[in-house]
Amino acid sequence: MFAGVAVAVGVGGFVANKVIKKKSPPADIIDGKAIAATIRLEIKEAVNAMQAKYKKAPGLAVVIVGERKDSQTYVRMKRKACAEAGIVSFDKDMPASSTQEEVLQAVKDFNANPNVHGILVQLPLPKHIDEQTILEAISLSKDVDGFHPLNIGALAMKGRDPLFVPCTPKGCIELLDRSNVEIKGKIAAVVGRSNIVGMPAAMLLQKRDATVTIVHSRTPGAESIVKKADIIIAAAGSAEMVKGSWVKSGAVVIDVGTNSVDDATKKTGYRLVGDCAFEEVKFVASKITPVPGGVGPMTIAMLLKNCLEGAQRMYAP
Ligand SMILES: NC(=O)C1=CN([C@@H]2O[C@H](COP(=O)(O)OP(=O)(O)OC[C@H]3O[C@@H](n4cnc5c(N)ncnc54)[C@H](OP(=O)(O)O)[C@@H]3O)[C@@H](O)[C@H]2O)C=CC1
Ligand SMILES: Nc1nc(=O)c2c([nH]1)NC[C@@H]1CN(c3ccc(C(=O)N[C@@H](CCC(=O)O)C(=O)O)cc3)C=[N+]21
Ligand SMILES: [Mg+2]
């Protein structure tokens, strides 16, 4: 009823529209770390139940090739999370000089091992190894990362469901669900189209009846496209690229980006930032995930969940 009523205030003969510029209250922070902890407890209970019923524990094989510091950190976190949930981890740490044949053989050995229900080959692999060849060698029923082309193909098809959904996008959807964000009928924008995050995230949103636009490095006018979205999943790997001005008021923002930027005030010399400018976006969005403590912990929780489900399918199909 107030629409169309202009508030004009005369200031010394000068008439200006008085704009009361007020910052919106900050967004709710979606606590991925806490949600992941809850899920990990749920998994632990299911693992205990499996032990009691079948005298078997789920097993996860983690293959790492080379000495990349970040990969080692992630792999250590995954193995620790497995141990806490009662999932047995099978470690295969291979030197960067390993041949493609050797890595392939490691995968084949785990394919044949009945105590292994999930196989994860940490990416990226050294340049002389063809990632796709390795990923396609993983048994479909043990593909807990969901990176096998047949799993991705099923993800893209109407009326089909893959055996495994990639962990990071699955974690993004779980965060939306557990934060009571409706996906159906919403406009969504995914920034990034990688095989491991952006593309599968877009497929999942679309399967849940969102209308999805994928923005990538060749997209003209990315800002105005992102600004139309009710739900934004940012996975470009570009520190703080999504500014407050890119975000529609009240949008829900899931920030996958994990970028390390130099920070002399930290004892490590760096800190992690997302793909969203958190301090700006939090005053525009209604809900937002932090980095760290948002999507990252969910990725690990979903890995455990996929491994548990793989084992459950084998013992109680
Ligand atoms: N929290 C977690 O669990 C995980 C976090 N990550 C993080 O998520 C981010 C993305 O990872 P990943 O998908 O593997 O990265 P990739 O580098 O494989 O893909 C990045 C994608 O973003 C697009 N892109 C890059 N810059 C821009 C830009 N300025 N504007 C629009 N699009 C852009 C690229 O476009 P194009 O295709 O045209 O090159 C590409 O599709 C990284 O920060 C990574 O560290 C990744 C995995 C798990
Ligand atoms: N085969 C394969 N599967 C993967 O799932 C896979 C991979 N390769 N290669 C690399 C990316 C990256 N990734 C992350 C996992 C956890 C956090 C995570 O837990 N991050 C914490 C912070 C961690 C820290 O402090 O360094 C957080 O955001 O709170 C981040 C990133 C999985 N990946
Ligand atoms: Mg390679």
Strand, helix or coil for residue 214: strand
- The CA distance from 294 to 274, in Å, is 10
Indicate the pairing of strand 14-17 with strand 8-11: antiparallel
Give yes or no for residue 297 CB within 6 A of ligand 2: yes
Ligand 1: which of 193, 213, 241 to mutate, judged by most atoms within 8 Å of the beta carbon? Answer: 193
Q: Is 31 in the pocket of ligand 2 (CB under 6 A)?
A: no
- Please tell me the predicted confidence (pLDDT) of residue 6: 45
Instruction: Choose, from 143, 145, 230, 255, the residue flagged as catalytic.
Output: 145
Total-model pTM: 0.93
Atom of ligand 1 nearest to the CA of 259: 43
Alpha helix (H) residue ranges in 140-289:
149-156, 167-178, 198-207, 222-226, 278-281
Quote the crossing angle between the two packed helices 32-54 and 69-85, to the nearest 10°: 50
Whether the CB-CB separation of 188 and 232 falls below 8 Å is answered with yes
CA nearest 78: which of 56, 62, 59? 62
Task: Find the ligand nearest to 130 CA.
Answer: 3
Closest CA to 132 of 107, 109, 169: 107
Q: How far is the CA of 257 from the centre of ligand 1 (A)?
A: 7
The answer to whether the 55-161 and 165-296 domains have the same CATH topology is yes
Q: What is the pLDDT of residues 12-50, one digit of tens each?
A: 444 455 566 667 889 999 999 999 999 999 999 999 999
Which residue lies with its CA nearest to atom 1 of ligand 2? 122
Q: How far is the CA of 63 from the centre of ligand 3 (A)?
A: 15
- Rounded CA gap, 9 and 235, in Å? 45
Q: Tell me how far apart the alpha carbons of residues 310 and 56 are, in angstroms, rounded to a whole number.
A: 13
ipTM of the predicted assembly exceeds 0.95: yes
84-to-40, 299, 308 alpha-carbon distances in Å: 8, 16, 13
Q: Is 132 a catalytic residue?
A: no
To test ligand 1's pocket by mutation, which of 173, 258, 259 has the most ligand atoms within 8 angstroms of CB?
A: 258
Q: Residues 31, 78, 230, 275: which is the catalytic one?
A: 78
C-alpha span between 290 and 122 (Å, rounded): 24
Our mutation pick for probing the ligand 1 site, out of 70, 125, 217, 242, counting the most ligand atoms within 8 A of Cβ, is 217
Mapped onto helix, strand or coil, the DSSP state of residue 38 is helix
DSSP type of residue 47: H
Tell whether ligand 2 has an atom less than 6 A from the beta carbon of residue 258: yes
94 beta partners = 65
Instruction: Judge whether 275 and 238 are in contact, CB under 8 Å.
Output: yes
**Position of tokens 């990639």?**
166
Q: Is 122 a catalytic residue?
A: yes
DSSP classification of residue 247: S
CATH for 55-161? 3.40.50.10860
C-alpha span between 208 and 189 (Å, rounded): 14
Name every protein residue with a CB atom under 6 angstroms from any ligand 1 atom. Answer: 168, 191-194, 196-198, 215-219, 222, 235-238, 241, 256-259, 295-296, 299
Q: Whole-angstrom Cα distance, residue 157 to residue 62?
A: 29
**Tell me, which fold does domain 165-296 have in CATH?**
Rossmann fold (3.40.50)
> Whole-angstrom Cα distance, residue 125 to residue 198?
20
Domains of the chain, by residue range, sit at: 55-161, 165-296
Alpha helices in 179-287 (DSSP H): 198-207, 222-226, 278-281
- List, in sequence order, every residue forming a beta bridge with 271; answer none if it has no partner: 261
**Positions in the chain short of pLDDT 70:** 1-22, 317
